[in-house]
Structure 1
């Protein structure tokens, strides 16, 4: 059974200072979450961050950092993750300079990110790549995401499939999770609904994604963490995280 966490990027407007982070972590814990993914936090000492998380009974299950920092300050990243006892080191997106190169950029990133991922793996950590929808652009009949996973090292380059962005790009989230069996330890759960101006992000279970199929795919693929994220909320983001958790519990995810 997978475990559920909250992606703090959802609450980035409430994590700008150490005091903000403390208050926000408390609220997340009160919602019923037992784990968080770190992303878009304001400046805070890593030791202080661990103390806050521990005080609130929150396990740091994954992170997001820039690829530049993972590449150029790998040892700093390793030391932080050792402190936090956090296994999964995530990058939020492929940097723009690679995207400008088209197919060759996807291949180059797959190679260079695999090199970084090997350094992390040697220290006991797992590199995960978080997709958006630009990776579904096709090059000679293959999507950028296919190129990334074909050209990267499957022993060290893992996935963080984002259900909303796969659907946004015209893909099938459940299919992609299944395809990456053994390389999909964490998945971002985010729903999609149609508003008057087009596609919008929604709380898990409040939109149109096929959650029974997605959850079944996660079980099949051996996903460890289901991480709830909502970049843009139509209501208070804490309320949105609460609704997603409630719905996931109703779906049998606990």
Structure 2
């Protein structure tokens, strides 16, 4: 049965301030039944608290985040240096999926670089599969960029057949593809889904003063602000057609839905999660 969970990147500051277990309690109180751990250290204290959440709260740990390689910017566990720890954490927590949040920027610049990175993913995925763990790759809008008519996402799929996918529906929309088309095209390999809305906010009237200034600097600032009108949104607070999208995600084989919102625009994360949960409940989830 597909779970409805929370991408804990939204709550990393709360975990740091309040501790993992109290945050897990609040997540379950809101009506979520799983979590995906990202941008939160998988140290012993947090892992033990997650174990307690599984036992005491009935919460599932749907996925853990990893990097393919340890780099200065990949501060969490990496498959090239921490494979044994990742496998151990998955065993302790009953986790079946680990996910890579984004390929390195230097892998995005050419088809050859993307293929090389994908082959390395395939090798890691095969090692994880031997332990009953599935490696998934998460998309952004850039993964819909094309080399010779082939999307980056498709390159990874071709050269890394053991890898499955975490489809972020907001980034699919922002990348210019209909999320329903993406889900149908990737049916059978879409194991994790980021449920994240996409809204466009009205142009603030106060910004018009920048145009009246007539200077190149003011015009550039106006255009910078204009480009920020698309936003991440609470589920149901944007323009995406969830009553049509989510059934297609289930048909595509999704095992976990994770609500995520990259930017909160000053709101409390638990309030955002409460609004998303209320909307999803209103449409039958």
Q: Do Structure 1 and Structure 2 share a fold, with TM-score over 0.5? A: yes
Mapped to 2, the partners of 1:4 and 1:134 lie a distance apart of 26
SS of corresponding position for 2:249 = helix
Indicate the SS of the match to 1:9.
Answer: helix
- The Cα of 1:237 is off from its aligned counterpart by 0.9
Task: Name the count of aligned residue pairs.
Answer: 249
Distance in 2 (CA, whole Å) between partners of 1:219 and 1:113 is 26
Instruction: Give the match for residue 207 of structure 1.
Output: 238
Aligned 8 A contact 2:264 2:272 in 1: yes
- How much has 1:148 moved relative to structure 2? 1.6
The aligned counterpart of 1:96 is 105
Candidates 92, 99, 105, aligned match of 2:113? 105
Alignment root-mean-square deviation, CA: 1.7
Aligned equivalent of 2:9:
9
Checking the alignment, whether the CA contact within 8 Å between 2:193 and 2:257 is kept in structure 1 is yes
The question of whether the paired residues in 2 share the 8 Å contact of 1:47 and 1:83 is answered with no
TM-score by length of 2: 0.82
Between 206-215 and 112-121, report the one with greater CA deviation: 206-215
Name the stretch that deviates more: 215-224 or 125-134.
215-224
> In the alignment, is residue 59 of structure 1 matched against residue 60 of structure 2?
yes
Q: Is the 8 A contact 2:166 2:194 kept in 1?
A: yes
1:81 and 2:81 equivalent?
Answer: no
Deviation at residue 144 of structure 1 after TM alignment:
1.2
Residue of structure 2 in register with 1:190 after alignment: 196
Q: Note if 1:127 corresponds to 2:128.
A: no
Structure 2 equivalent of residue 167 of structure 1: 173
- Cα deviation, 1:5-59, whole Å, max 9, x if unaligned, reads 1110111221226x42222112111111121111111463123431244333321
Rate the CA distance shift 1:180–1:92 in 2: closer, same or farther, 3 A.
same
1:225 & 1:237 partners in 2: Cα distance?
20
Q: Is the 8 A contact 2:21 2:49 kept in 1?
A: no
Equivalent residues of 1:91, 1:129 under 8 A apart: yes
Post-superposition CA distance 1:117-172 (Å, at most 9, x none): 0110110011111111111222122221222212221xx21000000111111112
User: 1: distance between equivalents of 2:184 and 2:2?
Assistant: 15
Unaligned runs of 5+ in 2: 70-77, 204-227
**In structure 2, distance between residues paired with 1:3 and 1:54:** 17
Superposed, which structure 2 residues align to 1:141-152 within 5 Å?
Answer: 141-152=149-160
Is the contact made by 1:15 and 1:24 (CA closer than 8 Å) also made in structure 2? yes
From 122, 128, 136, the counterpart of 2:144? 136
Hey, what's the Cα distance between the residues in 1 that align with 2:169 and 2:49?
A: 32
Question: How far apart in 2 are the matches of 1:146 and 1:23?
Answer: 40
Per-residue CA deviations over 1:48-88 (Å, capped at 9, x if unaligned) read 43124433332111111222212332121111100000111
CA contact (8 A) 2:54 2:93 kept: no
1-structure distance, mates of 2:79, 2:15? 22
Q: Is contact 2:21-2:52 (8 Å) kept?
A: no
TM-score by length of 1: 0.92
* Larger-Rg structure: 2
